[in-house]
Amino acid sequence: MAARRQAESKLNYLAYHDPLTGLANRRAFLERLDQSIVEAGLHRQRLAVLFIDLDQFKQVNDTLGHPVGDELLVAVARRLAPQVRLIDLFARLGGDEFICLMEAVRDADAVAATARAFISAFDQPFQVDEHALYLSTSVGICLYPDDGTDAGTLMRNADTAMYRAKALGRGHFHFYT
């Protein structure tokens, strides 16, 4: 019986966590976002979705190989995860895309502070094996209910804002407009 419970627990963990970084995965994020939208609607609160993409990550994989890229993603996750509040959710969507759900957001300034913290986390190089990797990140932000009232719209708009941040020169954040 104990072995069965342990196996079920492991399967549940694998279903909701990214195997590389140990962060929540897309499925866990979407389920939490759906729940948070309902709660925010009931309590007339705001929430924010921050879409985080590593700038020029493909060059790392192409020049140094996927094992180095994977180690870099783990290092990025370790450096970014502490930047969020305990009530928030930081997850890896896949590839070099991360996402953050900020609940009970006071105002856009609080969200901007978190985006700045994510960007500042890249001020120091990432040490992977013998490589010092200098990277930047771009962050797109959208707010509930201003920029969408369902998970799909919020994620799409945060992604759009992230591409606008990249177009502004990378290493920036941009609110969806």
Q: Report how far apart, in Å, the C-alpha atoms of 128 and of each of 22, 68, 75, 134 are.
A: 18, 7, 8, 11
Ramachandran angles phi, psi of 124, nearest 5° = -95, 145
| 100 phi and psi angles, rounded to 5 deg | -130, 135
Catalytic residues: 96
The answer to whether 90 and 84 are in contact (CB under 8 A) is yes
- The neighbour count for residue 154, using CB atoms within 10 Å, is 25
**Whole-number Å distance between alpha carbons of 59 and 55:** 9
Structural element, H or E, at residue 90: strand 89-94
